[in-house]
């Protein structure tokens, strides 16, 4: 099977995601997160681009604007952490009346954003997100590395 995966450090290059990788990513988002009853989940890069997304269909979100804002928000909060002497915050979560939003860093270049309601507890979601992230990291690779073609 011909596999090609290019991954470069943030700010230096671009990413190509092939069908196989995206299928694998989307399967994780669908089974591990949407399957819990999460309303939306999207995997984005730190520049605010959307890699993959899944939505329950109950509410339609503007995921491109959300991605831009999420990346900006995460970036701002990360910078604040460093200013107060923290390497990073272990939890970034916003609580709403009906919808909540959780951020999780997947390698240095990607973020997993989950939108969920009161049906799921934050603690349970964090557990499941951590499990999903382990699988995503295996697909996305560690930082930074370039894999060659396997013919």
Partner 1 sequence: MALINMKKREVQAKVVYYGPGRGGKTTNLEYIYRKFSNRIKTEMVTIKTHGDRTLFFDFLPLDIGQIAGFTVRMQLYTVPGQVKYDATRRLVLRGADGVVFVADSLAIRRKENLLSLKNLAEHLASYKRSIFSIPLVLQYNKRDLADQGIPLLPIDTLESDLNSKLKAPSFEASALAGPNVVQTMKKIISITLESLQKEFQS
Which residues make up the interface to partner 1 (CB under 8 A)? Answer: 8, 10-19, 22-23, 45-51, 62, 64-65, 68-69, 71-72, 75-76, 79
**Residue 113 and residue 51: Cα distance in Å, rounded?**
11
**Residue 2 and residue 60: Cα distance in Å, rounded?**
36
Q: Compute the least distance from the CB of residue 110 to partner 1, in Å.
A: 10
Q: Compute the least distance from the CB of residue 2 to partner 1, in Å.
A: 12
3-class SS of residue 47: coil
Which CB, 69 or 146, lies closer to partner 1?
Answer: 69
Angle at 125 between CA 120 and CA 126, to 5 degrees: 150
Q: Compute the least distance from the CB of residue 125 to partner 1, in Å.
A: 26
Rounded to the nearest 10°, the torsion over CA 5, 137, 139, 32 is -150
Q: For 33, which DSSP code?
A: I
Q: Compute the least distance from the CB of residue 64 to partner 1, in Å.
A: 5
Which CB, 36 or 50, lies closer to partner 1?
Answer: 50
Which CB, 8 or 99, lies closer to partner 1?
Answer: 8
């Amino acid at each position: 099977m011909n596999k090609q995966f290019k991954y470069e450090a943030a700010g230096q290059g671009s990413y190509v995601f092939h069908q196989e990788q995206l299928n694998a990513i989307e399967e994780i988002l669908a089974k591990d997160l949407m399957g819990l009853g999460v309303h939306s989940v999207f995997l984005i890069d730190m520049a605010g681009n959307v890699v993959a997304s899944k939505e329950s269909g109950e509410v339609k979100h503007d995921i491109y604007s959300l991605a831009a804002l999420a990346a900006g928000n995460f970036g701002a909060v990360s910078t604040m952490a460093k200013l107060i002497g923290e390497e990073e915050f272990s939890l970034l979560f916003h609580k709403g009346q009906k919808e909540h939003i959780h951020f999780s860093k997947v390698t240095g270049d990607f973020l997993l954003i989950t939108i969920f309601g009161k049906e799921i507890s934050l603690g349970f979601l964090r557990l499941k997100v951590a499990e999903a992230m382990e699988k995503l990291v295996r697909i996305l690779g560690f930082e930074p590395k370039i894999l060659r073609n396997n013919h």
